Amino acid sequence: MCPNVGEPSTPAPPCSASPAPVTAPAVRRDLRKPFRRARGTKPRKLLLAALLVSHPSVIAAQTSAALSLFNDDRFRGYSLSDGRPVAIADLSYDDPNGFYAALSGSLVASRRSGVRPLGLILNAGYAKRLSSGLTIDAGIIHSEYSRYSDRAAERSYTEGYVGVSGKLLTARLFVSPDYLHHGSVYGEVDGNFPVAAKLRLTGHVGVLVPLSRSAYRENYGRDIDWRIGLTRQFGRLSAQAAWTGVRPGHELYQARQHHRDALILGLTYAL
């Protein structure tokens, strides 16, 4: 949340036939589940077979895609979509050598102009599984938002991050030179706990520390955001519900105020 898709995923088990790709936890989005490996049609399989002749390592790579609908797009406790519904498309690639990349694009049902582009997020990084079973990763993520986003703090920013993940928990530290205009440091811990067949409890807590307390007319301070939710799997479709909040909740919006707490509902379909 891809710095997405924001739940930790379990690293793929090793394979004796070929090196297993190291699947990094999603970086960006708070609710969307980790991507599944895409299933190819017969024409795709023929193309893949041709590629393997000259590039055998392609067999271990994972390409994934997903489509999501949410009643609001919340990031670190704040709405990116002016409290409006969003549609999000994600595409990711995991290389067997540990490199990964992701692309996420979103549309928003705006209040006055109908469906409009909301944001574009690019993510690239490298992950390595340790002998202990933990996975470490580092990368960079760039976010661009249109004028249909209600954020006043920034429309474009870049963050670098490092993280470590296990079977149930993921921790990351983000540093940005231009988030909140003059930069910030953000630390987060995400949890993903199976509670029943096809049902998971998810959680998140994060702390945002601006590198400068003021920018232009805004006055920024330290924020603590959290999220607790449930995800139910129905084959390729997953349904999510989560309660999210932020305190003290400094005003980062352009025109209208939003509640600091919100119930977020969504559906994600893995292609």
Establish if 1 belongs to a structural domain. Answer: no
Q: What dihedral do alpha carbons 63, 232, 26, 135 form, nearest 10°?
A: -100
Number of domains in the chain: 1
Residue 257 lies in a domain: yes
Residue range(s) defining the domain that contains residue 202 = 42-270
- CATH at 200: 2.40.160.40
**Residue 30 lies inside a defined structural domain of this protein:** no
Residue 236 lies in a domain: yes
Nearest to 117 by CA among 108, 126, 125: 108
Closest by CA to 191, choosing from 202, 175, 200, 205, is 202
Token pair 């980062």 in the structure block, residue:
252
Q: Does 247 reside within a domain? A: yes
Report yes or no on 22 lying in a domain. Answer: no
Please indicate, yes or no, if residue 8 is contained in any of the structural domains: no
Q: What is the pLDDT along the chain (271 residues), one digit of tens a residue?
A: 444 433 333 343 444 444 455 555 555 555 554 433 333 444 444 444 444 455 555 445 789 999 999 999 999 888 888 889 999 999 999 999 999 999 999 999 998 899 999 999 999 999 999 999 999 999 999 999 998 886 655 578 999 999 999 999 999 999 999 887 778 999 999 999 999 999 999 999 999 998 876 544 455 678 899 999 999 999 999 999 999 999 876 555 455 556 789 999 999 999 9
Q: Please indicate, yes or no, if residue 244 is contained in any of the structural domains.
A: yes
Structure-block tokens of residue 90: 């994600």
Token reading at 99: 């490199």
